[in-house]
Amino acid sequence: MRLDKYLGDTALLTRKEAAEAIRRGRVTVEGAAGPCKPNQNIDPASDVVLLDGEVLRYQTCHYLMLHKPAGFITATEGSTLTVMDLVPKVSKNLFPVGRLDKDTEGLLLITDDGSLGHRLLSPKHHVGKTYEVHTRAPLSGEDLDRLRSGVDIGEKELTLPAEAAMDGEGHLLLTLYEGRYHQVKRMLLAVGNEVVYLKRLSFGPLQLGDLTLGACRELTEEEAEALRNA
């Protein structure tokens, strides 16, 4: 890998900024003879690169879990607040995997691993997502059965069978294995009800747990590996 690209990936510098830092002698590669050059090749797995005396850590891909608050749109950029405003800038290529509506809270996966993101969203992989749903009116057993078997939300096919149960607080726990537009809200409308609060609790093997609203953390290696195997 070229040294200037390495600086771009690890220190988030532009190619011009990286070249300027190298020219000013701010960059060193341990064990390398002579001054550094932007186009010199290094091995990210073994070479130790320092910027202003600080070792830069190279990571192939990044995996972050965000507890999205209401009021933020799920997009990489926009004229209003986006979820990326809550995420540490560890990579230039981060993106949210899937979407949560502006008024929806909960678990949102952020990564720069495009291949994994595509696989997790692919309909053929049926990665489950569980939501806590507060409804305008109580749900009956018949309502739950309809959600479990699939309902008509105005498309060619019924929704896929879902898992539906009530928690100890009287709220719906709904697990979906597909991702249609506004699906949870449309499913509740299909059974004559309305969503008043929506929160995603899990995405595949990932659990939101006690992550604070608005907080973001890196996944553990075990969590990232579980995602790759989902």
List pLDDT tens digits, range 178-216.
999 999 999 999 999 999 999 999 999 999 999 999 999
In order of 28, 116, 160, the CA distances from 36 in angstroms are 7, 35, 57
Contact between 199 and 104 (Cβ < 8 Å): yes
Q: What is the mean pLDDT of residues 149-173?
A: 96
Active site residue 9: no
Residue 80's pLDDT band (cuts 50, 70, 90): confident
Q: What is the pTM of this model?
A: 0.81
Residue 126's pLDDT band (cuts 50, 70, 90): confident
Residue 8 has pLDDT above 90, yes or no: no
Contact between 159 and 150 (Cβ < 8 Å): yes
Mean per-residue pLDDT of the chain: 93
Q: Quick one: tokens of 143?
A: 């309502």
Q: How many CB atoms lie within 10 A of CB 75?
A: 15
**Which of 175, 166, 161 is closest to 207 using CA atoms?**
175
The reported pLDDT for the residue numbered 44 is: 83
Q: Which of 101, 112, 113, 143 is catalytic?
A: 101
Q: Quick one: tokens of 73?
A: 């749109």
Residue 91 has pLDDT above 90, yes or no: no
Residue 33 has pLDDT above 80, yes or no: no
35 versus 87: the higher-pLDDT residue is 87
Residue 165's pLDDT band (cuts 50, 70, 90): very high
Distance between start and end Cα atoms, the chain: 31
Residue 156's pLDDT band (cuts 50, 70, 90): very high
Full set of structural domains in the chain with CATH? 3-55 (3.10.290.10), 63-228 (3.30.2350.10)
